[in-house]
Chains A and B, each alone.
Chain A
Amino acid sequence: MDINDIIKPENKVYGKSSVLTDNIMHYCPGCSHGVVHKLVAQVIEEMDIQDKTIGVSPVGCSVFAYNYLDIDWQEAAHGRAPALATAIKRLNPDKYVFTYQGDGDLASIGTAETMHACNRGENIVIIFINNAIYGMTGGQMAPTTLLGQVTATTPYGRKAELNGYPLKITELLAQLEGTCYVTRQSVQNPAAVRKTKAAIRKAFENSMMKKGTSFVEVVSTCNSGWKIPPVEANKWMEENMFPFYPLGDMKDR
């Protein structure tokens, strides 16, 4: 028996999503971005909405998301993705529209766009990668950086007196009338990955039900920014981030 006797459709248990391109991802080993990209691709494939989906990529490490998911994309200025998505969805109500944003993009420079798109109840999906750092620019403090966390711009650890407090933007968004589904997930083990995929699927399904904005935060790792290898980074995230950013649904209506 050689390998070709084994590679048969009936034996296939797993495959790369057809919505993912063959481009080699530029993400660092262990980075959560790649896993979440895969989940979005799988959801789009399983819902059979590749021709009806428009993605908006941010400025951040995932700026090149458009190289990896084989759908039509718009690249936004830093923080402005929810404003783009607002217009895309309002002008094309039959399309699935999502933004994919980091913490700096969504919760610092783009806070106003995020809050107001959610508050208007735009029928879009927002996927929020919270890695508590600015990955792309070399590991500076993010709005979500934890107290005491060392970054390039908090070399002695984040201090409340100097830098204020980590921003729980997801909790804020859950308060808004315009959001219908607000959840916080993670992707550090298979069970968490499965839950996050279910959350993304629900968020996409919501966007045709005129219920409002669906918001999926994924608490994520940034090995290069945190300067911790992948396995340790997962542990650091569980020990330090989960207590402050507890996982689970905050709102589902």
Chain B
Amino acid sequence: MAEKVLMKGNEAIAYAAINCGADGYFGYPITPQSEVMETLMKEKPWESTGMVVLQAESETASINMVYGGAACGKKVMTSSSSPGISLMCEGLTYLAGAELPCLVVNVMRGGPGLGTIQPSQGDYFQATKGGGHGDYRLIVLAPASVQDMYDFVDEAFELAFKYRNPALILADGVIGQMMEKVEFRPKKARRTDEEVRQQCDSWATLGKPKTRERNVITSLALDPVVMENFNIKLQKKYADIEANEVRYSTYKTEDAEHLIVAFGCMSRICENVVDMARENGIKLGLLRPITLFPFPKKQIDALVPQLKSIMSVELNAGQMVEDVQLVAAGRVPVGFYGRQGGVVPNPDEIYEAFLKFIK
């Protein structure tokens, strides 16, 4: 069996990036995720794999460096926390509009504003509904363990390149800061220039050989008909992602009469809540969306007929609950429990809130 190493979620992101053959990381320090760049700088991957690591002057610059690198067909990434992601939203919509693959990691902290450095899931809307302008989507993966942090880096890059779309790992301060054992996966070498050309020459800016037309990376189309057609193409892509890339997990849902929906660190806490309910003879189950976009609509929908209630549990004022309500469509009561501002609830208080809700 592969060696297991004890580390923080943020450190796992850094090691996963090096080990999956990432070409570049561009970032700006912000708590609670600064360990990502610190670990990369300590490991000096430019000497081993040739990966570029650069501290940018701002998150605005980092995300635009990501754009520059991604447009060259490179596997490039950045990481930040909520206020930094707000600054990156301009870049994210340009990346989506130019159909560029890249990885962005958000280790969420409490907001709004400068907020707190304590954990939160308050950026669910920003991650899944936009943040930047225009009709675009990010592929959003929500890790619940340090192993997920490691594994999702490679998975997010694979999805990003498959669909030529930015992918986001939406973690929270708990997952970023806590230490767990991680199994390192087999290393992937960085692609050679030749391999990048084979994979990306039809669209990336690799230098124009005489044998092809010039490649232009842009999100600009002044003609409204052209722009609408491009938007339709994008929506088709997002529909494909919804059809093919939903990831989720369930806990004791087979016979469940009540369901909790929770992602990230909250899904782990809610497993305890399920066990507490079961000890008291209440058939509670848990569904954890692993991809927040695409959201596991069909999977929740399939459970609705057997359910008497659904409760969404989040570290915010109630954001994902709106997506759950859309699926439930009034067929079953949908409740919500959440704490805000960096407070993480314990299983007892969630269980109490659940009992109150189903009474």
**A91 cross-chain contacts in B, Cβ below 8 A:** 23-24, 52, 68-69, 72, 74, 76
Quick one: which of A194-253 are within 8 Å of B by CB? none
Interface flag for B317 (CB, 8 Å): no
CB of A124, distance to nearest CB on chain B (Å): 10
Interface flag for A83 (CB, 8 Å): yes
Q: Is there contact, CB below 8 Å, between A71 and B208?
A: yes
Q: Is there contact, CB below 8 Å, between B60 and A88?
A: no
Interface flag for B293 (CB, 8 Å): no
Known pairs A91-B23, A91-B74; A73 contacts B67 (CB<8 A): no
Known pairs A50-B208, A90-B24; A116 contacts B214 (CB<8 A): no
Known pairs A70-B208, A87-B76, A90-B54; A75 contacts B26 (CB<8 A): no
**A88 cross-chain contacts in B, Cβ below 8 A:** 68-69, 71-72, 205
- How many A residues are at the interface, by size bracket? 20 to 34
Complex CA gap A75/B217 in Å reads 6
Interface flag for A177 (CB, 8 Å): no
Q: How many A-B residue pairs have CB under 8 A?
A: 121
Q: Is there contact, CB below 8 Å, between B24 and A113?
A: no
**A83 cross-chain contacts in B, Cβ below 8 A:** 56, 60-62, 64-65, 67-68
Q: B209-232 interface mask toward A, CB cutoff 8 Å, 1 = contact, 0 = none? A: 110001111111000000000000
**B310 cross-chain contacts in A, Cβ below 8 A:** none
CB of A205, distance to nearest CB on chain B (Å): 17
**B215 cross-chain contacts in A, Cβ below 8 A:** 72-73
Complex CA gap A71/B209 in Å reads 9
Q: Is there contact, CB below 8 Å, between B216 and A72?
A: yes
Complex CA gap A91/B98 in Å reads 19
Q: Is there contact, CB below 8 Å, between A54 and B67?
A: no
Q: Is there contact, CB below 8 Å, between A73 and B216?
A: yes
CB of B170, distance to nearest CB on chain A (Å): 23
Quick one: which of B132-159 are within 8 Å of A by CB? none
CB of A80, distance to nearest CB on chain B (Å): 4
Complex CA gap A54/B52 in Å reads 19
**A73 cross-chain contacts in B, Cβ below 8 A:** 205, 214-218
Partner of A77 from the list B54, B90, B204 (CB cut-off 8 Å) is B90
Q: Is there contact, CB below 8 Å, between B218 and A87?
A: no
Quick one: which of A42-73 are within 8 Å of B by CB? 50-54, 56, 63, 66, 70-73
**A63 cross-chain contacts in B, Cβ below 8 A:** 220
**A116 cross-chain contacts in B, Cβ below 8 A:** 56-57, 61
Which chain A residue lies CB-closest to B90?
Answer: A77
Q: Is there contact, CB below 8 Å, between A113 and B64?
A: yes
Q: Is there contact, CB below 8 Å, between A80 and B205?
A: no
Interface flag for B295 (CB, 8 Å): no
Which chain A residue lies CB-closest to B66?
Answer: A87
Quick one: which of B47-96 are within 8 Å of A by CB? 52, 54, 56-58, 60-62, 64-69, 71-72, 74, 76, 90-91, 94
Partner of A112 from the list B52, B54, B60, B206 (CB cut-off 8 Å) is B60
Interface flag for B207 (CB, 8 Å): yes
Q: Is there contact, CB below 8 Å, between B91 and A53?
A: no
**A51 cross-chain contacts in B, Cβ below 8 A:** 207-210
Known pairs A74-B217, A116-B57; A84 contacts B208 (CB<8 A): no
Which chain B residue lies CB-closest to A113?
Answer: B61
Q: Is there contact, CB below 8 Å, between B52 and A90?
A: yes
Q: Is there contact, CB below 8 Å, between B68 and A95?
A: no
Quick one: which of A85-138 are within 8 Å of B by CB? 85-88, 90-92, 95, 112-113, 115-116
CB of A135, distance to nearest CB on chain B (Å): 16
Complex CA gap A196/B76 in Å reads 36
Complex CA gap A90/B217 in Å reads 18
Complex CA gap A63/B218 in Å reads 10
Q: Is there contact, CB below 8 Å, between A80 and B217?
A: no
CB of A122, distance to nearest CB on chain B (Å): 10
Q: Is there contact, CB below 8 Å, between B216 and A66?
A: yes
Q: Is there contact, CB below 8 Å, between A66 and B24?
A: no
**A56 cross-chain contacts in B, Cβ below 8 A:** 68
CB of A55, distance to nearest CB on chain B (Å): 9
CB of B321, distance to nearest CB on chain A (Å): 33
Interface flag for A76 (CB, 8 Å): yes
Complex CA gap A115/B58 in Å reads 12
Complex CA gap A51/B211 in Å reads 10
CB of A73, distance to nearest CB on chain B (Å): 5
**B74 cross-chain contacts in A, Cβ below 8 A:** 91
Partner of B206 from the list A72, A85, A86 (CB cut-off 8 Å) is A72
Complex CA gap A63/B61 in Å reads 19
Known pairs A66-B214, A75-B218, A77-B90; A87 contacts B207 (CB<8 A): no
Known pairs A74-B71, A77-B64; A112 contacts B208 (CB<8 A): no
CB of B192, distance to nearest CB on chain A (Å): 13
Q: Is there contact, CB below 8 Å, between A72 and B214?
A: yes
Known pairs A51-B210, A66-B214, A71-B214; A87 contacts B69 (CB<8 A): yes
Q: Can you list 16 contacts pairing A with B, beta carbon distance less than 8 Å?
A: A51-B209, A54-B72, A70-B214, A72-B205, A73-B214, A74-B205, A75-B216, A84-B67, A84-B68, A85-B68, A87-B26, A91-B72, A91-B74, A91-B76, A113-B64, A116-B57
Known: A80-B64, A84-B71. 18 other contacts (CB 8 A): A51-B207, A71-B208, A72-B205, A72-B208, A73-B214, A77-B67, A80-B60, A80-B91, A83-B62, A84-B64, A85-B68, A86-B54, A86-B68, A87-B24, A87-B54, A87-B64, A92-B206, A116-B57
6 shortest interchain CB distances as A-B pairs: A84-B68, A83-B64, A75-B218, A87-B68, A72-B205, A87-B65
